[in-house]
Amino acid sequence: MSMKKVEDLSELAVIGVDIGKDVFHLVGFDDGGNLVLRRKVKRLALTATFEKMPQCVVGMEACLSAHFVSRTLRGLGFEPRIIPAIYVRPFIKGQKNDYNDAEAIAEAALRPNLRTVTEKSQDQLDLQALHRVRARLVSRRTATINQIRAFLIEQGITVRKGLHALKSSFLPILEERQDEISPRMRAILSGLCGDWLWLDERIETIAKEIEDISRTEENCDNVMTIPGIGPLISTAMVAAVGRGEVFDRGRDFAAWIGLIPRQYSTGGRTVLGRISKRGSRYLRMLFVQAANVVLMRPHHWPGFSFGDWLARAATRMHRNKLAIALANKLARIAWSVLRHGTPFDAQRDEVMVGV
């Protein structure tokens, strides 16, 4: 690559930004692909630096502060593009360093058919944060319950499966088996139970806030008309993709959350494998849970527009495979409802509970 006079900013066509915690590395090219900018700036000086540059395309990898930086640069008149890291990797040349990463981002940003990440609003980031906090608390609660069970088993006490079974029998165990449990172990178990109750309260508070948001958000209200889908999925989907404009069709959204088969095709021969499990793991889990909710109530299937398909599929598929196929269909329907802003065409039964 030929190199023109560095810092001739008047000819900038694209800037690649490698976002760091405290320092950003910038690499810019002109229309001819010549390097015209190579600079390292502090995070606090980012706005002042870009105010002195001509407006152009600015590429950055999808990361923690990418949406904040994107909104800031858009306010200055630039055209930011947030690019998934997997699409930047093929453009990296030589050893990995911050400048090479920024150069690869700049080259990827100019590709006309490259799929980018939709810029999230502050409301979307807030909603996404609620879901992440809830997921972390649920994981901690599961770990706490498992530890309680493990300590009880070490004392020779087993409890049948299920959260409610353990909760209802925990205090009677401490009271009736005092001879089998030492005072110190009893204190440890009581402390873990306190942690468990506190986590339950925190999870319930966040779930209530998510539910309140789903009632006031029109997009969430439309998505919740789909069988099996409730406040959790609707708000998580809106937080992740907004109105879904980045996807051209429902299949693209289902592929993004990893619900389509892996494909390895060559020579005109199509080979399909297990689901890809790419993209949003959290949304994929929620849609599979929604599918299982629908499968638990076969007497409601005739009331759905996809009921005939589901009934036929149930006769030839294993339940787990059927759940994935139904999750795929629900994801496509959810994208269509979200993208077009219309409720689902089937009448929702009041007995149906959504996730």
Q: What is the pLDDT of residues 201-260, one digit of tens each?
A: 999 999 999 999 999 888 899 999 999 999 999 999 999 998 888 888 999 999 999 998
- Per-residue confidence (pLDDT) for residue 118, from 0 to 100: 87
Mean pLDDT of 275-291: 90
Choose the final residue of a domain: 198, 216, 234.
216
Closest C-alpha to 290, from 336, 355, 236: 355
Is the domain of 100 the same as that of 128? no
Task: Find out whether 50 and 61 touch, Cβ atoms under 8 Å.
Answer: no
Of 275 and 193, the structure prediction assigns the larger pLDDT to 193
DSSP 45-64: GHHHHHHTS---EEEEE--T
Task: Find out whether 259 and 275 touch, Cβ atoms under 8 Å.
Answer: yes
- Per-residue confidence (pLDDT) for residue 207, from 0 to 100: 95
Tell me whether residue 346 is in a domain: no
Is the domain of 96 the same as that of 47? yes
- Per-residue confidence (pLDDT) for residue 8, from 0 to 100: 65
- Per-residue confidence (pLDDT) for residue 7, from 0 to 100: 59
Is the domain of 143 the same as that of 247? no
**Mean of pLDDT over the chain:** 89
Is the domain of 206 the same as that of 228? no
Tell me whether residue 284 is in a domain: yes
Is the domain of 231 the same as that of 188? no
Is the domain of 153 the same as that of 237? no
Closest C-alpha to 237, from 329, 326, 324, 331: 331
pLDDT in tens, 165-202: 998 899 898 888 887 888 899 999 999 999 999 999 99
- Cβ atoms within 10 Å of 265's Cβ, excluding its own: 9
| In the predicted structure, residue 16 carries a pLDDT above the cut 70 | yes
Is the domain of 288 the same as that of 250? yes
Beta bridge partner(s), residue 26? 17, 39
Tell me whether residue 70 is in a domain: yes
Residue 348, token pair as written in the block: 């929702």
- Give the model's confidence band at 354: pLDDT under 50 very low, under 70 low, under 90 confident, else very high: low
- Give the three-state DSSP class for 310: helix
| In the predicted structure, residue 353 carries a pLDDT above the cut 70 | no
Is the domain of 165 the same as that of 211? yes
Is the domain of 225 the same as that of 298? yes
Give me the CATH number covering residue 36: 3.30.420.40
- Give the model's confidence band at 112: pLDDT under 50 very low, under 70 low, under 90 confident, else very high: confident
> Could you give the CA distance from residue 332 to residue 232 in angstroms, rounded to a whole number?
17
Choose the final residue of a domain: 87, 109, 131.
109
Is the domain of 226 the same as that of 205? no
Handedness of CA 66, 67, 69, 73 (dihedral sign): positive
The residue segments making up the domain with residue 332 are 218-340
Mean pLDDT of 329-340: 93
Residue 255, token pair as written in the block: 């592929």
| In the predicted structure, residue 114 carries a pLDDT above the cut 90 | no
Tell me whether residue 139 is in a domain: yes
| In the predicted structure, residue 278 carries a pLDDT above the cut 90 | no
The dihedral region occupied by 80, where left means phi > 0, alpha psi between -120 and 50, and beta the remainder, is beta
> Could you give the CA distance from residue 186 to residue 188 in angstroms, rounded to a whole number?
5
Is the domain of 210 the same as that of 224? no
Q: The tokens 């930004």 sit on which residue?
A: 17
pLDDT in tens, 299-320: 999 988 899 999 999 999 999 9
Tell me whether residue 267 is in a domain: yes
Is the domain of 48 the same as that of 139? no
What share of the chain has pLDDT > 90, as a percent?
A: 62
| In the predicted structure, residue 324 carries a pLDDT above the cut 70 | yes
Task: Report how many domains make up the chain.
Answer: 3
| In the predicted structure, residue 345 carries a pLDDT above the cut 80 | no
Tell me whether residue 297 is in a domain: yes
pLDDT in tens, 2-12: 444 445 677 89
- Per-residue confidence (pLDDT) for residue 94, from 0 to 100: 85
| In the predicted structure, residue 113 carries a pLDDT above the cut 70 | yes
Tell me whether residue 242 is in a domain: yes
- Give the model's confidence band at 349: pLDDT under 50 very low, under 70 low, under 90 confident, else very high: very low
| In the predicted structure, residue 95 carries a pLDDT above the cut 50 | yes
Mean pLDDT of 271-288: 87
- Per-residue confidence (pLDDT) for residue 50, from 0 to 100: 94
- Per-residue confidence (pLDDT) for residue 1, from 0 to 100: 44
Buried b (16+ CB within 10 A) or exposed e, 109-124: bbeeeeebbbbbeeeb
Tell me whether residue 149 is in a domain: yes
- Per-residue confidence (pLDDT) for residue 108, from 0 to 100: 93
Q: Catalogue the E-assigned strands of 241-339.
A: 261-263, 272-275
Choose the final residue of a domain: 175, 196, 216.
216
